[in-house]
Structure 1
Amino acid sequence: MSLNNEKTVPKSCFDCIKSIESVYTGGCVAISKDESKIFTTCNEDIEVLDFSTGTKIAELKGDTEIITSFAVKPDGTHLVSASRSQLLTIWDLSTFKAARSFKAHEAPVITMDIDQTSTLVATGSADSTVKVWDIDRGYCTHNFKGHGGLVTSVKFHPNKDDICLVSASDDGMIRVWSLNKGKCIAMMESHVSVVRSIDFTQHDNGQYMVTAGRDKIINVWNWKRKALERTIPTYETMEAAGLLEIDSDIGLDARYKNVVYSGGDKGIIRLWNMDTGEELFAQTKELNSKHTFVSILYLSQSQDLVAITNDENLLFYQTAKRLERKRQIVGYNEEVIDLAFVGPDQKHLAVATNTEQLRIYDTENLNCELAYGHKDIILCLSVHNSCRIMATGSKDNTALVWMINMDAPVNERVVCVATAVGHTKAVGAVCLAQGAGCAFMLTGSEDRTVKKWDLDPLRPIFENPERMAATIKESGPIKLRSLYTFQAHDKDINSICVAPNDNIFATGSQDKTTKVWDVASGKPLGTLQGHRRGVWSVAFSPVDRVIATTSSDHTIKMWSLSDFGCLKTFEGHTNSVLRSEFLTKGTQLMTTGSDGLIKLWNIKDAECVLTLDKHENKIWTLAKQHSEELVATGGADSVIRIWKDTTQDEIERLHKEDARLLEQQQALDNFLVVKDYRNAIMLTLSLDQPHRLLNIFQDVIAAAEYRNGLDTEIEGGSDGEDSEQAIVGARVVDDVIGSLAPDQLERLLGYVRNWNTNAKFARVAQAVLHCVLTKYTSQTILDLPSAKDLISAIQPYSERHFSRFDNLLTDSFIIDYTLHAMEAFHPVGMEALTLNEANDYNDEDE
């Protein structure tokens, strides 16, 4: 196997720079009035997202019970939530912490609303009661009873002078409650099913009220008379309705002042004239989309509508552009099956999840486009080198070819241009030709056959993508013709990969084999046998005549295309290896497995140089950019991780670190030459060099002993007197030890602990320990995080002495005990121990 002669820098470091995780799993959604934050329900927690990017800002951790409802104060300072535990929780949005919690109802809260003054919150419960709470003070101001079923909707009237609350139940009854009078002042009966929405006109201080429900009607009420003005039949089960505050052109006649929006099981937004009941506008449902709307939020500042779907997506529509979709946030991805980078700049990520929708993420702001075409779950993806052409295979037994242009208008960004129908079972593997013309497509199926499809009819579309949308709109997707079909394996085909030159392709199957085929004729060229279990993926090297295969037998094998023999086997994964990609000009291989690990291998020596562990379940898929700057992974944990190659940054960091260490080492040598022990000791501690520090202490103590020896021969030596007063040979060293920061002191005690285990160094260790316990109080030492472990390791005597040491109460006891413990090691220090103190210790020992 020959490697590229051009020098390459092997990759050794990847950092996860972005994660696309679940942010909405169904339930309540709210948007702050200033349109800066989105609040979504995610199981038992509430996610706080940035409105413009959809990225997670914070998480309000719940009480392990599912959130049933929540509302945000109009002033944006607090959020009120309710869960199945029947607790009402007030959250401070400045700190994202719970301010207080209290029990609200005898059954879960289904709906809530906060008045315009941000003072009161109304809660409607499954116990048929409606309660009003003072948010800041945390007590119940009103408890209204009268409904005969579940309270499904509550809404405060906008009139601040006479505060009224409207509530509706699942029996269709609507009640009006006066907070000033503390009782029900009106009952409105017209709906015959669950009332899901209540709203008021704002420009006239709430002169009209609109209600909508699952009985497929919208009712318009005169608020002053509490009487029904008009019923608008919608012929659709309604889940959301409200009033638009129109102050801009939305393409409607200017005389329409009161426009009602609605949404429900049809999955489209419709606009109605409240005064006449006329339908003004209805969206066109997207092809093959199956979603319904469970809620619609109106944003008064931008005059946009946000529709929440039953498949956990948030769709943003512009009223100023006749409800054109501006963007969408995918709340839940389910299991990520396959993904690939697309677009000319490869800043978008095509994702196949456990749905029939093709999802295209913008990796910069996490906006997601949903493309509908398949009728069942998408199982595989393949992208052409241009990154503008993509193919998908699905459980609906078909493969589709797509054109991608993320700069086009919303409905033209991802367009299905061709369909391949012919397989009798699910299409689990697909691969496009990589040549300039993208002349063919290969598909493999659970029916064990391989088909080659002619893409020549698509050449005019590929060459002139500007006319693509118009062409497809007129005639629909082109039906592709199969050039050949043959049975390739005895079991399901899991993977198809075409060689860089488009001349041969390989298939991997559950029958434990990989086979190599001629593209032009479909004839077999060789069989790769050696795996003990099914083969999950195959990949051609970009530079050598080799192929990599991954298998359920926990191994990766490298094969020669010359004689179809096995060249290398990589072992390291603890479960099935599911995907592989060649990196660094074919010199490295990245793999993912069912063990949730990503591994990077050097092919030359079959060595694993990096393991990444961020996923919590099997990693089904792996994709890379052409530049290999970014790598993306996705798996059964419903999380997409985007990894950046930071090898060069790490190399530069290490070079800078080496240069810094070299400078510090030189500085340390300079300090030692001029006997600047203060700076030398501090620098040695910062460099974490215990042996160097030990040498410094030994040299200082040895120099002190040498001077003491001279002083005994020469009377009146002042240096000797100074040395006798020092504990560790020199007073400047004692002073340095006595001025250490807590982390430095802890590090020094750690060194002493290790030195004390060696008889050669124990004398120095005891001298330093003596100095530490002399300079610091007992509380200072005992406050160190690892104080107990350090002291227990340092003490040189019996467990009986240690039990006393571990319960030290006074500074003097620490110092006295330490001097006693140093008897065998530090005779200079023992000179400070009086005879009476020594006798006291001897008595205690007896």
Structure 2
Amino acid sequence: MVARHIRQLQATAKIETVHTGGNVAWMGNGSTIFTTCSNVVKAVDISGCLSSETIGDPEEELRITSIGLSTDSTRLYVAYNNQTIKEVVIEEGEKTSYKTGKIWKSMHEAPILIMQHCSTTPYLATGSADNTVKVWDMAHQQCSHFFRGDSVVSAICFVGFEFLLVGYISGTVRFLPTFKNDRQSSEFIRTNPPCFSQITSILQIPNSKSALIVSRDNTASIFKTSSMKTFKTIPLFEAVESAAFAKNGNLITVGEEGTIKEWKIEGAKLIRSKKISEVGLSSITFNAAREEYLITSEDHNLFILNAATFGTEREIVGMHHEVYSCCFAGPSDSHLVVASNTPSLLLYDTATLDCKLAQGHSESILTVAKANFDPCLVASGSKDNTVIVWRLMERDKWCLEPIAKASGHTASVNSLRLSHSAANSHLLSLSSDCTIKLWSLKLLPTKEQIEKNKFKDLISLTASSTLVAHGKDANCLDLAISDKAAISGGMDKLVKLWRVDASSGHLLIGGTLSGHRRGIVDVAFSAHNQKAASASVDLTVKVWDTLEQTCLFTLTGHTCAVFQVLFVATGKQVMSADSSGILRLWSLENGECEMSLEAHEDKIWSVAPNSVRNEFATAGGDGKMVIWKDVTEEKIEEENRKRRKQVEQEQTLHNLLEQNRFQDALDYALELARPACAYKVIDKLIENAELQKALSKLERNKLQMLLDFATQWNTNSKSSQASQEVLFNILLFMPPDEILKLPNARSFVEAFIPYTKRQELK
């Protein structure tokens, strides 16, 4: 355990919203995915540990309606809901930069829904909800073609550089001339209505002048530009939302079933399929450099699949909504288990930030907890009134597998705790039905049984004890390290103490603590002394003596409801978090706040420590999760290192002065960029009448620095004389015109004048 006080926390990882819907783009080298995130674009780096960079202004009021990437991945085009298009120039290097290029008004009368860049020419096609398509000549910065259709544009495809195929939500497809024989006609050559529902994808068949048209009417049609006719229809047996060609020329589709499918076009044969998501899939993109597919789902998640095996390489949760609870789990806290406003439990790898979804609940999950005696054992409570116990298993990748289920609560399960010891292992649950239940975990299957497939069905847990805990919603729960006492809090403003006898399966009331003026949202035991803490909507945290059942401290300072509390630094400090996103650290020696940190932009619902309590995961209403590390020791060591270095530098300077090496001493002081050291040297130079000689040998950059220092000295009557001597001696060997050529020369001259006049008056 960490014994010293925590003085400073530093964010080491952040998981945030990266995709809120809309189309995505993938750089040709496969390193970065561009996603739409409301009013900004997120550049998600998938080459290593998942990280993202924001392109655009988060304060921008306009919303993004579409993005498109040039085929050489050097330009990103972003369309906004005022029909403006912004070009972003991508410059790759040690760190990829994104610079705003051209911005122009598209003159579409409705939002731009799709953008497609031609692979062989500098042309960009934009399709809008106003039924029109415009082709932009980016080399000459002008609109070269304009076409109007019969409904909203839903798909665009360049066929070579001669033709443009446009699909509409009505199911029609337009075959449009663009660059053949430099024709500028905006008339349609042919209308081809092969479908009866929205066109979702149009793809040029590799090494041909034909195109594949995919629709929501469960079919795909092959269209030949030579005859301008559809000559083959392929049944897909699903409303397909997006399609791509595999490296081998086969067709890959995704749609409403949440399954990826590979088809042999000749013979319309389904070769293989794999279930990816419980909800429909929205889009698919193939990246030849990585030989992987990028798939997006209707719930805004992103999946990266190996093209050869359909194996999931990475899962990225695009949007978390509100995150209600989280906890570290796995060997050496290798994973973070997250409960959010969805029925899926999220499992994050803390090293790579890869995510794996676990299905089991039917409604949003409100709370998660880990067993201290087995870090791979996790429990979750949900709005579906149930508790599920999971085991973290290492298959091809780490995943959560449900092993037991507890039913019996008649309302949402708000809080859980698992026993600290494996002896008489048990689980406590607290619900909005105002009851607390005790469940035995003795019959849980072991890891070996699960690995050998000796365990098949979920074990049904039975509550050995049920008591009414609170008069109103019961919100929070904690279990003492001895496993013999529990504490709970509710909206009835009371903190309840409980005696737990896991061997007999009994719960008994142990006491009631009162004093809060409003409901209690979180409670915590100290693992090192007989103390407990409670956090309340009344803006306070109270620290209690559980033996005497009295209040030791009332910690005030939060300006909003306090939602989280826990003991840190072996019980010497309390950490609390409130509904405005502020994280605070309090000393229990004097009840004073020692640190305040703006951790989130919205309420903090969860603060979870790792096993040694030197890292903390926070999560909240802004959909973000942040892992904070206690860097107090590193900061102290850094300060000590700086102090030692300063002492060494001062000693070196002192030695140079003692040896009368004034020129070397001045150079050294200026290299250190420390005005106080330079002043000492200047004082010695004046005393030995060597100032002018020393100044004349200085390099221009050091002379500039010395003049900056002299400007500071001139503001103080004690050091102003030295400042005047410096300026006077510089003027003896350097003409004023030369001085004015120095950077910021005018500013320091202007700064010299008023203080010089003031010193003269004195």
Contact 1:53 1:366 in 2 (8 A): no
Q: What SS does the aligned partner of 1:660 have?
A: helix
Aligned to 1:709: none
**CA displacement at 1:243 relative to structure 2:** 3.2
**CA displacement at 1:482 relative to structure 2:** 0.9
**CA displacement at 1:402 relative to structure 2:** 0.9
Cα deviation digits, residues 674-712 of structure 1 (max 9, x gap): 4444455565667787677667666766x57xxxxxxxx
Is 1:658 matched with 2:643? yes
The amino acid of 2:483's aligned partner reads D
Q: Find the aligned partners of 2:680 and 2:29 in 1 and give their Cα distance.
A: 65
- The partner residue of 1:26 within 18, 21, 25 is 21
- The partner residue of 1:78 within 75, 78, 98 is 75
Q: Find the aligned partners of 2:531 and 2:198 in 1 and give their Cα distance.
A: 65
Cα deviation digits, residues 50-95 of structure 1 (max 9, x gap): 2334734543326752222222222222222322222233322114
Aligned to 2:120: 117
- The partner residue of 2:324 within 337, 342, 353 is 337
Cα deviation digits, residues 432-468 of structure 1 (max 9, x gap): 112125721111111111111122221x33564423x
RMSD: 3.1
Q: What SS does the aligned partner of 2:470 have?
A: coil
Q: Find the aligned partners of 2:500 and 2:436 in 1 and give their Cα distance.
A: 11
State how many pairs are aligned.
741
The amino acid of 1:153's aligned partner reads A
Greater relative contact order (Cα < 8 A, sep 6+): 2
Q: Find the aligned partners of 2:476 and 2:402 in 1 and give their Cα distance.
A: 23
Contact 1:573 1:595 in 2 (8 A): no
Distance 1:732 1:212, change over 3 A: closer
**CA displacement at 1:121 relative to structure 2:** 2.0
Segment of structure 1 superposing worse, 661-670 or 478-487: 661-670
Contact 1:212 1:238 in 2 (8 A): yes
Aligned to 1:176: 175
Q: Find the aligned partners of 2:2 and 2:133 in 1 and give their Cα distance.
A: 74
- The partner residue of 1:632 within 611, 617, 621 is 617
Distance 1:273 1:563, change over 3 A: same
**CA displacement at 1:762 relative to structure 2:** 5.5
Q: Find the aligned partners of 1:349 and 1:554 in 2 and give their Cα distance.
A: 29
Aligned to 2:94: none
Cα deviation digits, residues 347-402 of structure 1 (max 9, x gap): 21111122221111122222111111111111111011222011111111111111
Calculate the TM-score normalised by the size of structure 2.
0.89
Q: What SS does the aligned partner of 1:283 have?
A: strand
Q: Find the aligned partners of 2:653 and 2:665 in 1 and give their Cα distance.
A: 6
Contact 2:260 2:276 in 1 (8 A): no
Matches within 5 A, 1:25-424: 25-53=20-48, 55-56=50-51, 58-61=53-56, 64-94=61-91, 95-107=97-109, 108-117=111-120, 119-145=122-148, 147-157=149-159, 159=160, 163-179=162-178, 180-181=180-181, 182=183, 184-202=188-206, 204-207=207-210, 209-234=211-236, 236-246=238-248, 259-284=250-275, 289=278, 291-321=279-309, 323-385=310-372, 386-405=374-393, 407-409=394-396, 413-424=399-410
Q: Find the aligned partners of 1:552 and 1:792 in 2 and give their Cα distance.
A: 58
**CA displacement at 1:488 relative to structure 2:** 0.7
Q: What SS does the aligned partner of 2:633 have?
A: helix
- The partner residue of 1:536 within 510, 518, 521 is 521
Distance 1:124 1:696, change over 3 A: closer
The amino acid of 2:240's aligned partner reads M
Distance 1:12 1:131, change over 3 A: same
Aligned to 1:566: 551
- The partner residue of 1:586 within 571, 582, 585 is 571
Matches within 5 A, 1:774-813: 779=740, 783=744, 787=748, 790-791=751-752, 794-797=755-758
**CA displacement at 1:767 relative to structure 2:** 4.5
Cα deviation digits, residues 104-160 of structure 1 (max 9, x gap): 242332212222225322222223222222333322333234x11222111012x46
Matches within 5 A, 1:653-732: 653-680=638-665, 703=687, 732=694
Distance 1:85 1:438, change over 3 A: farther
Q: Find the aligned partners of 1:580 and 1:239 in 2 and give their Cα distance.
A: 46
Q: Find the aligned partners of 1:742 and 1:596 in 2 and give their Cα distance.
A: 45
Q: Find the aligned partners of 2:749 and 2:449 in 1 and give their Cα distance.
A: 75
- The partner residue of 2:436 within 437, 446, 450 is 450
Is 1:434 matched with 2:420? yes
Is 1:496 matched with 2:477? yes
Is 1:478 matched with 2:459? yes
Aligned to 1:605: 590
Aligned to 1:708: none
Contact 2:670 2:705 in 1 (8 A): no
Q: Find the aligned partners of 2:685 and 2:268 in 1 and give their Cα distance.
A: 97
Rg larger in 1 or in 2? 1
Q: What SS does the aligned partner of 1:663 have?
A: helix
Q: Find the aligned partners of 2:30 and 2:585 in 1 and give their Cα distance.
A: 43
The amino acid of 2:119's aligned partner reads Q
Contact 2:86 2:104 in 1 (8 A): yes
Q: Kindly indicate which of the two structures has a greater share of residues assigned to strand.
A: 2
Distance 1:737 1:676, change over 3 A: farther
The amino acid of 2:535's aligned partner reads T
Q: What SS does the aligned partner of 1:522 have?
A: strand
The amino acid of 1:237's aligned partner reads A
The amino acid of 1:347's aligned partner reads S
Q: What SS does the aligned partner of 1:641 have?
A: strand
Aligned to 1:811: none
Q: Find the aligned partners of 1:652 and 1:302 in 2 and give their Cα distance.
A: 43
Distance 1:35 1:731, change over 3 A: closer
Contact 1:22 1:333 in 2 (8 A): yes
The amino acid of 1:750's aligned partner reads Q
The amino acid of 2:493's aligned partner reads K
**CA displacement at 1:224 relative to structure 2:** 3.8
Q: Find the aligned partners of 1:787 and 1:615 in 2 and give their Cα distance.
A: 42
Calculate the TM-score normalised by the size of structure 1.
0.81
Distance 1:788 1:484, change over 3 A: farther
Aligned to 1:802: none
The amino acid of 1:479's aligned partner reads S
Q: Find the aligned partners of 1:786 and 1:640 in 2 and give their Cα distance.
A: 46
Distance 1:684 1:195, change over 3 A: same
Q: Find the aligned partners of 2:30 and 2:701 in 1 and give their Cα distance.
A: 53
Distance 1:523 1:221, change over 3 A: same
Q: Find the aligned partners of 1:646 and 1:741 in 2 and give their Cα distance.
A: 39
**CA displacement at 1:276 relative to structure 2:** 3.3
Percent identical among aligned pairs is: 29
Q: Find the aligned partners of 1:496 and 1:383 in 2 and give their Cα distance.
A: 14
Q: Find the aligned partners of 2:673 and 2:47 in 1 and give their Cα distance.
A: 46
Q: Which runs of 5+ in 1 are unaligned?
A: 1-5, 247-257, 705-722, 798-820, 826-846
Segment of structure 1 superposing worse, 169-178 or 134-143: 134-143
Contact 1:232 1:277 in 2 (8 A): yes
Distance 1:29 1:539, change over 3 A: same
**CA displacement at 1:648 relative to structure 2:** 2.5
Distance 1:437 1:326, change over 3 A: farther
